[in-house]
Structure 1
Amino acid sequence: MLEEQVKSAGGCLYVCSTPIGNLRDVSLRLLDVLREVDLILCEDTRQTRKLLARYEIPSGERLVSFHEHNEAARVEWLVGQLREGRRVALVTDAGTPIISDPGDAAVAAALEAGVPIVPVPGPSALLAALVASGLPATPFVYLGFPPRSRSDFARFLAPYRHLPATLVMYEAPHRVANLLHWLAEELGDRRAVLAKEITKLHEAFWRGTLAELERRLAEEGARGEYVVVIDNRGAQAEDDAHEREEARFAEAVREVERLMEEGLSHKEAVKRASDAHGVKRRELYNRTLRG
């Protein structure tokens, strides 16, 4: 039975996670909701009918197409349904709505209608990949599907390039090789995991560096939908090392200026300062050239 406190409140939107592959990955609560709601908003009604048929749940006239191409046009209708007391389940083809899937408009409609929004938790490809990856799970940042062009990708990744966290992305099989290559160019050869076909027959987790995974993908080919998990914690160590090096150069530059004031030649001052502070002599020489 649906929660009594929600039923007494009239209309309600249930945001429902559905299986990402294995149809047994359902909760008893999800099945209760799908049996008892008045309407089921579906990304693809054909996919949802398969789930309902598996658990002998009648669909009748309850299934309503609700996806990225028509959800904006259905918002006003949905607000009216919720205000009239309809109990509505929101599902997508697989996983959790709104996470790189349609659903934002349905939640906005529920807020406008002033009805409860109730999550029905369940499968999520990004969380499944993260916890099985073997990479640190905290903190992590979910970035969804990256842009398709190289220049757009660089701009997309820029805010996260130096973030010491695990980055998680989705990618299609025909673009995943490019993604691995671009990530290596932008981040360096980080530890990463390619997760594919999670919960399905050919589920696999490939572990290695970005370059190693790119080579393996070239050898074995790309099949299925991918979750790419990258450990970007080296970014913090690199930033710290860069800051330490810059601090040494600043000290060395001041040392060169002091020695030259004492009468040493530029070349000799650079030699002594670079030896004393452990910085590259040629770079110190160029940084202290006077115009």
Structure 2
Amino acid sequence: MKATRSFEAEGPKLYICSTPIGNLDDVTPRLIEILRTVDVVAAEDTRQTRKLLTRYDIHVPELVSYHEHNAVYRRDWLQTLWKLGKRVALVSDAGTPIVSDPGDDAVQLAIEAGVPVVPIPGPSAVLAALVSSGLPAIPFTFVGFLPRGAKESREALDRFGKLSWTFIFYEAPHRLQKTLSQLATLWPERQITLAKELTKRHETLVYGTAVEVHDFIAKESPRGEYVVVVGPASETEKCVDLATCRADDGDALSLQEAVQMVRRLMGQGVSHKEAVKKVAEENGLRRKDLYDSTL
């Protein structure tokens, strides 16, 4: 067991900083203060972060890239910084780090080292889409991005679509029409909300059944970033919870089987983080559970 106190002492810290998801005015005074006073900003893309820093005339001592491809390489670097008492701000391109963005490896490393992990709340595309969707907000399940394969994507939608509460996922523009087609086939009358370019100039929200939203997008040329909010299953469609949904799936993996799959992928040269992410997303498992079980 470990316990840290965010405000009690000086010394090393890891700040998880939520940044604007499009509109650069969506910052908090606390975020600006943290970015102005930390020793290092670790950014998913330094070019994107530099736009924010320039907008608010923030000059950081060190701006360094930190993303899924160099997270393992950065471990020793982070540990050295913390040993020197440095404060590190972690930012993604937009929104809250770790929510379908890099950062979970840094958080785990900080916890293991006893370094306080301090959240700096702010914009989140998930919550922005949820509260404007008109669909039941509590409880809800956030899926992240669906698996890339058509079969795997359909299976994931089928599984999450049996939940008795709202679920949310991100989708890329080049895959949007195909995904909406799958939703319209599986649950034609299900209420969904499609959020496009949240907080930006072309922000658009589309409300309707899965078929109606699919037909609307079929006439468009999808561009930008999308969040799809899917309403709860009807009485005849739903199951009690994710465990029950997975139990009905003869191909569902147990945690032990998933651990073995992660190890096989790692044996093929895939990083620990990427292997966990792939297996968890494709099989509806909690990433943290699988991560902890494979450390």
> Which range, TM-score by smaller chain?
0.7 to 0.9
CA drift at 1:167: 1.0
Q: Measured at CA, do residues 206 and 161 of structure 1 come closer, stay the same or move farther in structure 2, by a change above 3 Å?
A: closer
Q: 1:201 to 1:239 in 2, by over 3 A?
A: closer
Could you tell me how far apart the structure 2 residues matched to 1:101 and 1:179 are? 21
Q: TM-score, normalised by structure 1?
A: 0.77
Q: For structure 2, which runs of at least 5 residues remain unmatched after alignment?
A: 240-295
Deviations 1:68-108 (A, max 9, x none): 11111111221221122111100001000000000011101
1:12 aligns with 2:5: no
**Equivalent-residue separation in structure 2 for 1:25 and 1:130 (angstroms):** 18
Contact 1:83 1:115 in 2 (8 A): no
* Deviation of 1:16 (Å): 0.4
Contact 1:40/1:89 (8 A) holds in 2: yes
CA 239–231 in structure 1, closer or farther in 2 if over 3 Å, else same: closer
Q: What is aligned with 2:22?
A: 21
1:58 — aligned with what?
59
Q: Is contact 1:76–1:109 with CA below 8 Å preserved after alignment?
A: no
Structure 1, gaps ≥5 residues long: 241-291
Could you give the per-residue CA deviations for residues 98-154 of structure 1, whole angstroms, max 9, x where no partner exists?
000000111012112211000000000010000011111111110011012221113
Task: Say if 1:14 and 1:218 are closer, same or farther in 2 by CA, change over 3 A.
Answer: same
- 1:5 to partner: Cα distance: 6.1
TM-score by length of 2: 0.76
Q: What's the offset of the Cα at 1:189?
A: 2.9
Code of the aligned partner of 2:44:
E
Counterpart of 2:206, as a letter, is: W
Q: Relative to total residues, which structure has the larger helix share, 1 or 2?
A: 1
Which residue does 2:201 correspond to in 1? 201
- Aligned equivalents of 1:190 and 1:161: distance in 2? 9
Contact 1:49–1:59, Cα closer than 8 Å, also in 2: no
The alignment yields a C-alpha RMSD, in angstroms, of 1.7
Equivalent position amino acid for 2:15 in 1 = Y
Shift in Å at residue 36 of structure 1? Answer: 0.2
Name the residue aligned to 2:141: 141
Deviations 1:165-192 (A, max 9, x none): 1110100111011111112333443110
Measured in 1, the distance between the counterparts of 2:150 and 2:28 equals 41
CA shift in 2, pair 1:104/1:221, >3 Å: same
Q: What residue identity is the alignment partner of 1:39?
A: V
Counterpart amino acid of 1:221?
Answer: S
- The AA in structure 1 aligned to 2:50 is R
DSSP 3-state at the match of 1:73:
coil
Percent identity between the two aligned chains: 53
Partner of 1:155: 155
Query: Is structure 2 residue 132 aligned with structure 1 residue 129?
Result: no
Q: Is the 8 A contact 1:170 1:226 kept in 2?
A: yes
Which residue does 2:233 correspond to in 1? Answer: 233
Distance change >3 Å, CA 112–CA 155, structure 1 → 2: same
Greater Cα radius of gyration, structure 1 or 2: 1
User: Does the Cα contact within 8 Å between 2:35 and 2:58 map onto a contact in 1?
Assistant: yes
Distance 1:52 1:127 in 2: 24
Q: Deviations over 1:223-260 (max 9, x none)?
A: 211000010231x34459xxxxxxxxxxxxxxxxxxxx
3-state secondary structure, aligned to 2:174: coil
Report what 2:278 is aligned to. none
In 2: Cα distance, 1:208 partner to 1:154 partner = 20
CA shift at 1:7, angstroms? 7.0
